[in-house]
Copies of this chain bind each other. A is one copy, B any other.
Amino acid sequence: MLNRKLRMLRQRYLKPWIKYLRCSPALKKVVLGVDAGASKTEIAALDLSGSLVGLLSSKPANPSATSVKVACKNVVNGVRKLVNNLKDVEVVALGVGMAGVINEESKEVVRSFVGKSLNMDLSQVHVFEDVLAAHVASFAFGDGIVAVLGTGSCVFGVYKGRNVRFGGWGHLLGDEGSAYRIGNYALREYLKFLEGRDRHSTLHKLLESRLGSRSVSDVLATVYRSKDPKGLVASLAPYVFNAFKEGDALAREIIEGEICLFSEQIVAAAEALGMKCPEVSVVGGVFEGNKELVKSLLIKCLERKFSACELIVRGSLMRASCASALIALKKVLGDAYVSDALISAVVKECSVGT
């Protein structure tokens, strides 16, 4: 019994250390983290003390926008490029945070493709949903609710060892508050205007300049014949925010409505987890482009439900790519390796904006 326990302890804590400390002393050991997104893929390289030794922005790798194969290839090419840039490094772990890997089967497909292409031991490669990387980037393995407002949207909360996930149903069925939804509703209003059912406004003026089309059939042809209708519609969101900032009532109505609809998922997550005063971290392009505005709108919608407590709504602690690296490191070298000190070092190195 004691023997078994000792063996287990050795396997868990010592073996990985021995392996990585004794082999190839000339190579610097690094862990790589991937944030595979719909508009770009970011790859971070950390050394084992938590220093950011490399960062690379590569082609998009969202399997629902391209195909799984193309997404995997873009990840592999990005990783190869970064490793070549770094020279003389040994990759001890690779974490890939990717949208759309919603079940074990699809995670395994990506893991196998990426691992084999890079000649890595599959035990060193870990694939998970992008929302998990966003959560770690926000709470460093602690409790809290991450609210993703990018091209799509979803909510992922962790509290006292339990986790829940709400939304994330994609552009056809959900994505409240996302760039796609905000762009979509603005486009519907613009089409109404083109039909003569609405007055000219700042919102319509901005969409007209962006789309360059002035008839319903032109707009419909542009959207439905686009290779990426979802991306096209989402690309309109910044124009809606600009119209809002210029005082457009319609744009305000759309954005406020969407943020409040989205906040229902945060409320549902907090309730399901039994969090009385949730700490919420917001990530994604919709937030990045309009931090103060989105934060204040979200607080306004959430306060209705959490009137009796001090709500915290803030941004991320670190880049999602660095969080992906930390997740993989934890899996490969064990929980104990990813200490508070290491996390602090990574947060310092990888704070968003660096």
Alpha-carbon gap, A170 to B187, bound state (A): 12
Alpha-carbon gap, A229 to B196, bound state (A): 31
How close is A169's CB to chain B, nearest CB, in angstroms?
A: 6
Q: Does A166 contact B (CB under 8 A)?
A: yes
Q: Does A173 contact B (CB under 8 A)?
A: yes
Known: A64-B224, A184-B172, A187-B173. A217 touches B166 (CB 8 A): no
CB pair B191 A229 closer than 8 Å: no
Which residues of the other chain, B, contact A272 by a CB distance below 8 angstroms?
A: 196
Residue from the list B170, B187, B220 in contact with A220, Cβ < 8 A: B170
Which residues of the other chain, B, contact A103 by a CB distance below 8 angstroms?
A: 217, 221
Q: Does A268 contact B (CB under 8 A)?
A: yes
CB pair B191 A169 closer than 8 Å: yes
Residue from the list B166, B172, B217 in contact with A102, Cβ < 8 A: B217
18 of the cross-chain contacts (CB-CB < 8 Å) are A64-B224, A102-B217, A103-B221, A166-B195, A169-B188, A169-B216, A170-B223, A170-B224, A172-B184, A172-B229, A172-B233, A173-B184, A173-B187, A173-B188, A173-B191, A173-B223, A174-B188, A197-B268
**Apart from A170-B223, A173-B220, A196-B272, 5 more pairs, CB < 8 Å:** A103-B221, A166-B197, A171-B172, A172-B184, A173-B223
Which residues of the other chain, B, contact A216 by a CB distance below 8 angstroms?
A: 169
CB pair B224 A172 closer than 8 Å: yes
Residue among A103, A166, A173 with most chain B CB within 10 A: A173
Please, what's the 1-or-0 string for A118-160, where 1 marks a CB less than 8 Å from any CB in chain B? 0000000000000000000000000000000000000000000
Which residues of the other chain, B, contact A102 by a CB distance below 8 angstroms?
A: 217, 220-221
Which residues of the other chain, B, contact A187 by a CB distance below 8 angstroms?
A: 173
**Total contacting residues, chain A, CB less than 8 A:** 27
Which residues of the other chain, B, contact A217 by a CB distance below 8 angstroms?
A: 102-103
Which residues of the other chain, B, contact A197 by a CB distance below 8 angstroms?
A: 166, 268
Please, what's the 1-or-0 string for A252-280, where 1 marks a CB less than 8 Å from any CB in chain B? 00000000000000001000100000000
Alpha-carbon gap, A102 to B171, bound state (A): 24
CB pair A172 B268 closer than 8 Å: no
Please, what's the 1-or-0 string for A206-234, where 1 marks a CB less than 8 Å from any CB in chain B? 00000000001100110110000100010
Q: Across the interface, name the chain B residue whose C-beta is closest to A100.
A: B224
How close is A107's CB to chain B, nearest CB, in angstroms?
A: 11
Q: Across the interface, name the chain B residue whose C-beta is closest to A166.
A: B195
Which residues of the other chain, B, contact A220 by a CB distance below 8 angstroms?
A: 102, 169-170, 173
Which residues of the other chain, B, contact A169 by a CB distance below 8 angstroms?
A: 188, 191, 216, 220
Alpha-carbon gap, A73 to B231, bound state (A): 31
Alpha-carbon gap, A88 to B165, bound state (A): 66
Alpha-carbon gap, A195 to B195, bound state (A): 39
Alpha-carbon gap, A174 to B268, bound state (A): 28
Which residues of the other chain, B, contact A224 by a CB distance below 8 angstroms?
A: 64, 170, 172
Which residues of the other chain, B, contact A223 by a CB distance below 8 angstroms?
A: 170, 172-173
Which residues of the other chain, B, contact A172 by a CB distance below 8 angstroms?
A: 171, 184, 223-224, 229, 233
